[in-house]
Amino acid sequence: MVFGRLIPAMLLSAGRLVKGRSFANHEDAGSPVTTATIYNDQMADEIVVLDIDATPKNDPPDLETLQALSRRCFVPISFGGGINSVAKAADALRAGADKVVVNTAALENLEFVSELAGQFGSQAIVVAIDYLTTTAGPRVASKSGKQATDRLPEIWARDAEAAGAGEIFLTCVEREGMRSGLDVQMVRDISEAVSIPVIAHGGVGRLEDFVSAFDKGGASAVAAGRIFQFADNNLIKVRRYMQQNGVDLRPF
């Protein structure tokens, strides 16, 4: 049996946990190490950690925080932000990441995904796809979600899979942090376009959204941040709700 996964999403900025809305207006959300430890204790299936400063500022990835997280957490960590070379990917994996997440570097050079997969295996490579809704329809976004490209999300997902990606981390820019509900139709479109797992992210606001990612979207996992960090919810409560509503989750 393939189990669905429940994944907290954590954004890092200057060594702190932050959360914004639609990739902007980020506010402090506390200590990333303390928060990740709580997620670990509450039976997260894994944690996605994204350094949102690295690529825009051309900074190196925040491996110091990653190392601190990996010392306290025993669940898998997917780490992204500033991963634009095989060497930086290797550094992140040595620092405690189980997978690396790439976005901008993949958009600039799809062969980079193949290089990473060849070096570390597809199971360790996650391609993040951010997308915006334009007058022409959904389009893949670059520049930290600020600029729409001419790429269609479904085609880009297929290209990423063909290049060697082992997983897709799918985020709707407009919904991210808004708690307005997932774009379930896009989740389903991407899930049907590829054979690799798809993590649905961006917009989770109610317990029902965790279930709809699976039963309506066909996702393999659902990721969320604000609903855990700024609301009276925890992973144990969400896991219980999901299981009561027919989602098969990893047993403990």
Buried b / exposed e over 188-226, threshold 16 CB at 10 Å, is bbbbebbebbbbbbbbbbebebbbbbbeebbbbbbbbbb
Q: What is the pLDDT of residues 156-166, one digit of tens each?
A: 999 999 999 99
Q: What is the pLDDT of residues 98-107, one digit of tens each?
A: 999 999 999 9
Residue 2: pLDDT band with limits 50, 70, 90: low
Residue 3: pLDDT band with limits 50, 70, 90: confident
Query: Taking a C-beta distance cutoff of 8 angstroms, is the pair 6, 242 a contact?
Result: yes
For residue 141, the number of C-alpha atoms closer than 13 Å in the C-beta half-sphere is 19
pTM score: 0.96
Note the pLDDT of residue 143: 83
For residue 99, give both structure tokens: 């997978």
Instruction: Please check the confidence at residue 1 and state whether its pLDDT lies above 60.
Output: no
Note the pLDDT of residue 230: 75
Q: What is the pLDDT of residues 24-73, one digit of tens each?
A: 889 999 999 999 999 999 999 999 999 999 999 999 999 999 999 999 99
Q: Which domains does the chain have, with CATH numbers?
A: 5-244 (3.20.20.70)
Residue 252: pLDDT band with limits 50, 70, 90: low
Q: Residues near 175 by Cβ (< 8 Å), separated by ≥ 6?
A: 22, 181, 182, 183, 202, 203
Note the pLDDT of residue 45: 95
Neighbours of 148 (CB within 10 A): 20
Q: Residue 83 — φ and ψ, nearest 5°?
A: -85, 95
Neighbours of 19 (CB within 10 A): 21
Note the pLDDT of residue 118: 98
Q: What is the pLDDT of residues 213-246, one digit of tens each?
A: 999 999 999 999 999 887 677 899 999 999 999 9
Note the pLDDT of residue 233: 75
The CA dihedral of 226, 227, 231, 237, to the nearest 10 degrees, is -150
Q: What is the pLDDT of residues 135-180, one digit of tens each?
A: 999 999 998 888 899 999 999 999 999 999 999 999 999 999 899 9
